[in-house]
Structures are given as C-alpha cells and as structure tokens.
Chains A and B, each alone.
Chain A
C-alpha cells in the first residue's frame, strides 16, 4: 500500500514539474516554427527533419495541455521529452568540446589577462578535455548522427519593435508611464493617503473592540538563576556578566568628580579592566586558532 502511495506521489510531483516544463516547450516549439519560416532557404532535408520534430512537439504539447489526466499518454510524452533533452544536452557537450574556449570556471583562475590575449588556455586543459571526451564518446556519436541540424544556427529574437511586453520597447513605455505628470501623481497620493487613513482607522476600531471583549493581559515570570558560564567558551563569567556590565556602563553618565574619588569608581575601573583583559585574551586565542587553520606566512 505504502509503496503504491509513494509511487502516486512521485508521479504527481513529476507531473506538476512537467507542467512547468510544458510551458517552456510550448514556447520553444513556437519559436522553432518561427525559425523555420525565417529560414526557408535551408536545405530541404534539414527542413523536413525539423518540421517533423516541430510537429511532434506541437502534438505532444497539445495533448499535454488538453488531457492532463491521461497517464499513459503523459508517460509517453515524458519519454519523448527526455529523449529530446538528452539529445540536446549531449549536443551541448559536443559543442562545448568542439568549441575551443577555455574553461575558466573556477574563481581562482589567475592570469586571465594572458588568457584573453593569447588564448593559451586551450593547451592547459587539453588533458581534462580528453577525459571528458572518452566518457561522452558514445553520446557524441549519437549526436553526430542526428544532431547536425542545430549546429551553427541560432535563434533570432524577433519582432523587436512591435512587441511591447518585453525589452527596450517595454522599458521605454514603462518609463513614460511612470511619469504621468505631477498632477496625476499628486492625485494618486491623495487617494492613497485617504484610503490608508481609513484602513488605519478601521484597524484601530477593531483593536479597541477586541480589548473591550477580553480585557486580560498575561504577565510572565522568568524562571531560573542567572548564567554563570559563557555558553560558548565555557569560561566562568561569575558576577561580572559582560552584558550586565556593559549595560551599567552605558546607563551611567560620566561624572565630573575625579576618577578615583569614590570606592565604586575604583571597583568599576577594576571590573572594566578585568573585562578588557578577558576579552583581549579571548580575542587572541581565537585569532591564533584561526591563524593556525589558515597558515599563510609565505612572504614570497
């Protein structure tokens, strides 16, 4: 039973995820179509294959959106989707390998200036590349067989000056819309403040009503003794709790009388000295521990 339930759960999860995906692939498909239209001159063979692919997806998507509950179909789609993705990914890998860019990746990359200008990185990483090569050989072969179409052709961002929902056009529209003029803004502000005040008034009334209803306030009592050891370091804090002392110090105003006049002043001075010493000690201890861990004393 439990197993079954788990399975079902899993499927649900997947589906919900795929729904997400499907939105994307839908777009993708549309984009692809556009692509095709814009590139009529392509060799016929390629075009054909491409159309097939596009149709497939179209169909898949349609099914997906219209009959979500149909599990078997969905299952099939999933496979298809996966296949497509696998293919694409391997292609990427292929591309990545073929393209002779340097893998910079790690943040610690030094000497990038040279890289830029000399593009020597290639030789550096050839070893690594080789390794990747071996592992992905199989996939690569597959890619070679059917993946040629996507090579070297890129998606063209279309309808630059028509589409107001995205890009520069949108930002410009936003800009102009956000500056409707002082009068309009003033009006909006007035409206906002009025409604805000009304809201506040209402809240206040509600609160009052609540208080009138009950009328009880809970008073809490703090149990337990004061802490005598620091929870972190285990050092005994005793009567000189740092927080307490600091509080005291901040509350008291410095008096005009000489520093050593009253006994309590001496006591305070002693206390703060102890505090300072202790904190210094702690500081040094921590610092040294860190240094031990870090260990960088190479002056060259």
Chain B
C-alpha cells in the first residue's frame, strides 16, 4: 500500500477522493434504505385495488400532454425493486438517493396506450395515486415531483423519509415507474408515428423521440440488471465510475439531460468491458483514462455503440426493418449518413442493443434537425437526446481532460476532479433568456414528438450559430426548465420559470469582433436569400450582434498617444549630448505602457512643452501621475562603489538630463531628491537609471541564495524591467489579457487590498490563466477571465503549491526542481506553526524563481486568508449573476463595493479631496459603529484647477500642477510613521486601503507578537478611542470622519 502511494501521488489523491465521495454501505445506512423502501411498499400496499382512477386529479397534466383516454382501475405494481447507482454501490455524494423501480402493472394499460401520450398520462396519474398515499403517511417528511432527465412528460417522485440518518443528509428515494413488456416494441419503431396530433393531413411524421421515451421505460429494469452483472464484485470498475461521475458533475454543461449522466457513464463502461478495452488488472484511474480516451477519440460515435448481449432475449426483427429508410425519409434531400450499417449485418452479428448516439450528419446544426439513431431491441438504452452538439462538446471536454493528464503536472488532479467548470467559467459569453410567461414557444403544444422546451433549445442554438457564424467556436444551449419542486398536476405551463442558458466560446478575438459579416456570393441565390431572410434589414447594415454582456471598447486612443509620446521621449533622451555618458537604452516600466493600468493615463493639457498653449476646460485635474521609464547609460569605470553614492550619482545624472531636455526641447522638468519627472506631450514621465554594476552585484547575491537581504534600487529596477517586457510580450499575444488584468486590479483595490497584493503580482496571476488555461481554454472575454482570476485566488492551494508562471515556457525540469526546492524552504516552518509561512503566496517566474520580487512581504498568511475569502465570495456572486436574475439590491456593483462592516474601525475621507474624484466608484457610507471624530475638508487642495488658477502665465499654471501628489499615500505614510507607533505597545493597527482612489480606509486591530504580557499590563494599554482620534488628527483636512466599530480583543 505504502509503496503504491509513493509511486504515484495522483493515485493517492484519487483514492482519497473516492473515499470522500463514496458512501459507506454501513449496516446503519443499509437499514435506513431498507426501512424507507419497506415503508414505501407498505404505503403503496394500503391503496385499495381496483380503485377507479379518472385522471381528474391531474387534469392539467393530462390536458397538456394531450392524452385522450386515461381512466383505469388501480392495481398494485408488479414489483418494487431498488435499482440505479445504489444497487451497484456507486452512489456519489453529495446527492444521496436511491432509485426505486416500480413496475407498472399491465392490467392498467390497454394495448394501444402507447398512442397519443396515453401511456405518459396514465403513468403520471398512477404516480399521483401513490403520491397521495405517501403524503398521508407520517413516515415521510416530504414527497416532491421531479422528472427523469428533465423530461416533463416523465415525472418521478422524490420521497424524503421522516427518519433522518446523520451519515446521509438530504437522503431521498426516487420512485421511477417502469414499463417492462407493457407494449409491443415493434409498434414503437422509430419511423412510426404514435402522436396523431402531429399529423398534417395525409403526411404522418414519425415520432422517434416519443417512441424512445416509452421504450426507455420498458428497458430500464433489464438494463439495470445488465449493469449489476458487470459492476458488482468489481471494485475498480465501480471506483472508475465514481471518478467519471465526479468528473462529469464538475462540468455541468455536459452533465445534463442531453449529455452525460451517471447511468450513461455506466453503460459506456460496460461497453468497454464487453469489448475488452477495460480489464480486471486496471486501476480505477487507468480505467478513467481509457474511458475518456474512448469518449474523445473513438470513431464509433459516428455509428453508435452496440453491445453484444449475453443470455437470451428475443430479438425484435421488425424493429430493424427500414431503419435506414426511416432516416432517409426524415431528411429528404440531405443526408450524408456515414457509417450506417445495414440492419441485416447488425443482426448477423447478434447486436443486441444500442445507446442513444447519433449518426454523424455533416450538416449544420439547427437547419436540419438531428435524430438520435436507435436500434432498439428489447433493451434499448435510456434514450434521450444526445444531441450532436453536446456530443461534440463532450468529446472536446474529454480531450481537454486528457491534455490535463499530460501537461498540468502536479495540478492535474485538481484540474480534472476538483475544478468546477460551469457555464460562467467555461464560456466566454453567457446569454440568459428569461422566457417566463412567453407563450410563443409552446403555441403548438407542449409535447409532440419532442417537448417544446427542447425544441426551443434547438431554435435558440440554431439562431445563435447562424448569427454568430464562425465568430463562435462552440455554442451550448441548455434549458434546465424543470424547477426543483413543481406541481405537475396543474399542467406544464409553469415549467418555464427557469432561465435558458446559452454559452458561447469565441474562436478568436479578431474574428469575433470584426465589424462586417460577409454573406454568401450573390450568385448563389438560394444561400443569399437565406442570408437575407435571416438578417432581414440588417443585411446591408452593420451585422454585428451584441452579446448580453457588452464589451466596451478600450480607450486605445489614449494608449496610442501615450506610446507616441514615449517614442518621442526616448528619441530625445538618446540625442542628449551634454552629459558625460550617453543614454544607451530607454525602456517603459509603467503598467500603462502594457495596457494593464486600471486608468490609462489621459494627456494633461498643462503637461505639454513650452510654446503649446493649452486649451483648458473646466475640469482640469490638478494632479498628474508620472509614468516610470527606465534609462541605461553607456558603461563607465568611473562609477562609485557604494550604494548611497551610486544613487546620488544617478540623481545627478537625471538632473542633468532634465535640464538638458528643458533647454533643448522646452520640456518641463520637476524633481525631488529621489525622483526626476519630465512633462511632455501631456504625460509626466519619471526617469530612473539602471546601473549595470548594481545589476551584477544583484546576480552575485542571488547566487549565494540569501533571501533575506534588502533589495537594492537596481535590483528592483531590473526585476521591474524584466517583468515589464515579459508582460508586454504576453499582452501582444492575448489582446484580452489587458482588460482582464484591469478588472482584477480594480477588484483588488476596491476591497482595500492595495497594500497586500502588488499590481505586478496581479498581472502574474492573470498571466497564469492565459499561459496555463487547462482545464479550460484561453479566456476570450474579460468577464470570464475575471471570474477565473477570482476562482484561482480562492481555490489555489497556496499553502502547499508554488504557482509557476511560465510565460515563455522556458522552464525545464531542472528549473522546476529548483523552484520546488526554494518553495520547500519557505514552507519549512509550516509544521511548527501554520502561520509560519512566508511568502504565503509563492509566485515563481523566469526572472524570479524564489518569489522574492512581488510577494515576499505581502500578502502575509492572514491577509491571504482574507483575500481568499473575499475572492470566493465575489466569485460566487459573479457566478450567481450569470445564472440568475438579480432582482434585489445586490448586483454586480457589490463585486466592487466592499462592506465596511468588516473592519474594526473605518476612516472616511472627503471624496472631493481625492486627487481623482471621478475614479471613486461608490461613495462610502457607514451607518454602524460610533463616530469618533469628524473634520472639515481643507481649502488648500482641490482636485481640479480653480478658475483662478487658470489665469496667469503658463509657468504659473504649471507650478500649480502637482506631479505624483497623492494625499492618501501621504496619509498612510504618516499614519504608519507616527501615530500607529504609539500604539504598538499592545495591539497594532493594520491599514486597508484602495490606492486607486477609494474614499475609505479600513483599520483592524492586530495582535502584536509578544503574547507574554499579562492582563494587568494589557489593561494599561492605549485606549483605542484615543488612538482613533489621533488617527483622525493626522489626516486633518482630508479625513471626513472616523468610525469605531469594534474594540480590540483584550489579551488574556
């Protein structure tokens, strides 16, 4: 056992997973199930025989399915048997249920009841009688309606026992009626018409789906028997089934009525067993892989699966007759049916049953309806629509999963089994149609051959695929229209309450956002008319359809003008002659240059060169943010050797450069002792010099792997430049990367994590989504990218895994080992204390394998915990927003609006004293807590130029322009430097803020590390109210109010 574990860590995880999800068939559980079943039995037994049932109690249902004769005399079910996954011991948590097959007695049905939904109506009425009896029985807590595979005409009963067993919360029994040998299967041949309402005059259209719906019930028991034979006594196969179920369940777009379900997976597995693709020496994970490979790559999907049947079951020859012609007659004129085998050959090979797979028909989905191709003999499978589109999606998903096995390395397990791949995260755009009360789609009846909801799914799909054309890579439409508890007795009109979901994956951004759709050649008249007909008036106009979540266009023009300005600057820098060393290279560092800054800088009218008289409008900002630019100079041996002197020399150089620019180009230069900013073309550039010698110094120190030293200015610059060029490259490959980063940054800042997670770290996290998209594909919309970012934050195993962001895929095994070793070093202290982890978030990149650049100091473990909790909550909200209507007040705004109640104290700032008041998303309000201090706004600072400032000479005006002035930053610095220090005795205050311009600062009390202090001394500590007053005082003129919400915990 142990050696096994060591050999394959994935196997270990898999076995743990199986233990987690599989239910223990303990005596208590078995007894619970048996008790419930026997009380159901008793309850049914109490129903008097020959009770005359008229169908009046379910008049609505009978009317809506369109059945004519439903009276019968009630007889007891022929048998009541446990079936389904419980019978093969493959129940998977969290849905713990047992299928109970009750075989409908033949006496209740007439020979011709397969016609016109009579069977369906009687089946329901029969269940109604049972439900009535169960409801009057006190041993059941609840009896609810549900349906089999979302098929409204085939309801089932969910029975919740009154006795609860703690092991199995929410346990219920699903009562499923079966119709074994109720009808002559030949009458249910695919080509036959059994719903007369569908007839149009002379032509009688076949009703394959309707027929299958009945056949499915007829075969349920035998199929279950067959599965039992395969699965019982074969542990590994059962475990593989569990794995496949977990896999499918995580992917809700294939785990659906027209996709996979547990039962179908079991059938596929038995097929593989029958064809000896799975044998008894295989481990569960191997079986899992083989199955996925089969799903992904088998050519059999074009023909359907055929299972050879052991044992004796009479073959219904009639049903084969003319199947080929059926298909042809269904689709006159088209079908290039591939791989259809002549029925006689099938017979010769003794093929016994077939699953619900389709012929592949090479035509566009939606124009030609597809029919499932069923060779039904006496045990036809469950046979609902395995629509070709869902089949393709299924195959794609299976091959993606197989890729995970190969590529993801350590995280394969998480990608395959633990990651939720729902509509919201999988597709780039989700369309939610609310069709409640829309009578149009069932105008021709709820159930004919197919149910109206399914028809509508197809209609929407066809519309989308025709409209989107090759803009979309794949489209998935699902309408899970049956709500969790519904009263079917009153009819089917209420089954439209749930929204229809359509997911769209874009093929590429270029294609998806092109402006014009070029239609077919005018010469091809038929196509052209179809095109015209589809697009109507739009055919000449713009043919661009808007998705529900609209993309706003990026302010690319700003970026373009910025890049232009940068080019000019770098040219001018290189041309400077009057400094000792020439400028050899100029590199942009600021996120704005790589399109990842939340607010792309806008040109400022006052930041232009002399001579250009600016046209000032009313709201001219009085602040400007400088953009960092890195300069390298020619090499020289005359540089000083020590750090301080190097920095001073750099400043001296920069001053000279600034002066030179001022003199020769009329650019304005303003400087402090540390920074030199030049104003040009409306932007402010902050110049920095990278000194080569400092760099080699850095390299040497990295070699000696002492991670705890203070990084020099040169090292920081170097890392910045590496990061900048790396991200710049990535941004060029994935145009949607920038927008996703901007959303992510805004989110982080809005929840006041600006101090915890650096901008660069966010860029790397988002980069990871693009370079390692598995188990998804690369996101093509900002919403999807953003959701995946939130989920990555929330779900990644930060404690035990390094996140390796390998942008140019330049890591080999050796590098990875190095990273892993470094990671292990940081986790050494974990065993002593789970708090003892630094960095809590390990981000390794090619320029920084030890995660020292961005996350070394923050987030710490507590901050990360908070971050993770916020991310999870936001991810859930965003997912809900995609799936449901949000009628209440909490909508998308909440994603970017942080609840102030989560802090111990809150400082509200004067919104009109923020440097960029227009960036404030939601003005903060606070109704809780106690107001400790309040103050007026200072008159000295205005975020916008006053009319008085706009008069006078240009130089004077320029002096009014504040470069890199940020009151919030000053305030935070002041607080950290002075006020909080006084308070360090007992507790410390932690500051949470939004560097993008939020008007609130959150404060939390934090315990200092010295725990030895006794109570007496603790009570001597500073009064929090006094501290808060001092905090308010320090922000004079800027702070609006200070609120006290929660006292620090006293230490015992």
Contact = CB atoms under 8 A, between A and B. Distances in A.
Interface of A: 14, 17-18, 20-21, 24-25, 27-28, 31, 82, 85-86, 88-89, 92-93, 95-96, 99-105, 107-118, 121, 152, 154-161, 163, 166-172, 174-175, 178-179, 182, 185-186, 188-190, 192-193, 196, 200, 276, 279, 281, 283-288, 290-291, 294-300
B901 A298 contact: no
A18 B669 CA distance: 50
Given A102-B901, A109-B869, A115-B899, 10 more contacts: A21-B1020, A154-B934, A155-B934, A161-B939, A167-B1036, A168-B913, A279-B821, A290-B830, A294-B799, A296-B797
Interface string B785-816: 00000000000010110000000000001000
Nearest to A294: B800
A261 to B, nearest CB: 22
Nearest to B1036: A167
Contacts of A159: 1036
Contacts of A185: 651, 655, 671-673
Given A92-B1025, A110-B872, A196-B648, A168 B877 contact: no
Contacts of B670: 179
A160 B6 contact: no
26 contacts: A85-B1019, A96-B1045, A104-B902, A107-B866, A112-B901, A113-B877, A155-B934, A160-B939, A166-B1036, A170-B1036, A175-B965, A179-B670, A182-B658, A185-B673, A190-B652, A193-B648, A196-B644, A196-B645, A276-B813, A279-B821, A283-B824, A286-B824, A294-B799, A296-B797, A298-B21, A299-B17
Interface string B852-896: 000000000010011001101110110000000000111000110
A167 B901 contact: no
Contact of A169 (B876, B931, B1030, B1037): B1037
A167 B13 contact: no
Nearest to A175: B965
A116 B897 contact: yes
Interface string B923-943: 000001111111111111100
Interface in B997-1052: 1019-1020, 1022-1026, 1029-1030, 1032-1039, 1041, 1044-1047
A158 B938 CA distance: 11
Nearest to B670: A179
B958 to A, nearest CB: 12
Given A112-B870, A117-B890, A287-B9, A157 B901 contact: no
Closest 8 CB pairs of A and B: A167-B1036, A157-B935, A101-B928, A168-B1037, A116-B899, A171-B970, A104-B902, A117-B890
A182 B250 CA distance: 63
B901 A156 contact: no
Contacts of B903: 104
Contact of B672 (A118, A178, A279): A178
Interface residues of B, number: 109
B655 A117 contact: no
Contacts of B1036: 157, 159-160, 163, 166-170
Contacts of B930: 92, 95, 99, 154
A156 B1046 CA distance: 20
A24 B1026 contact: yes
B965 A109 contact: no
Interface string B4-36: 011001001100110111000000000000000
A175 B933 contact: no
B392 interface: no
Contact of A155 (B648, B649, B1032): B1032
B865 A161 contact: no
A279 B20 CA distance: 30
Given A171-B967, A299-B21, A300-B94, A156 B12 contact: no
Interface centre among B652, B862, B876 (most CB of A within 10 A): B652
Interface string B819-851: 011001000001000000000000000000000
Contact of B645 (A86, A101, A193, A279): A193
B818 to A, nearest CB: 10
A143 B164 CA distance: 49
A297 B418 contact: yes
A113 B648 contact: no
Nearest to A113: B894
B768 interface: no
B624 to A, nearest CB: 13
Given A107-B865, A116-B899, A168-B1038, A299 B940 contact: no
Contacts of A179: 670-672
B911 to A, nearest CB: 14
Given A113-B890, A168-B913, A189 B644 contact: no
A175 B870 contact: no
B417 interface: yes
A100 B929 CA distance: 8
Contacts of A88: 1023, 1025
A58 B240 CA distance: 79
A154 B931 contact: yes
Contact of B417 (A96, A188, A286, A299): A299
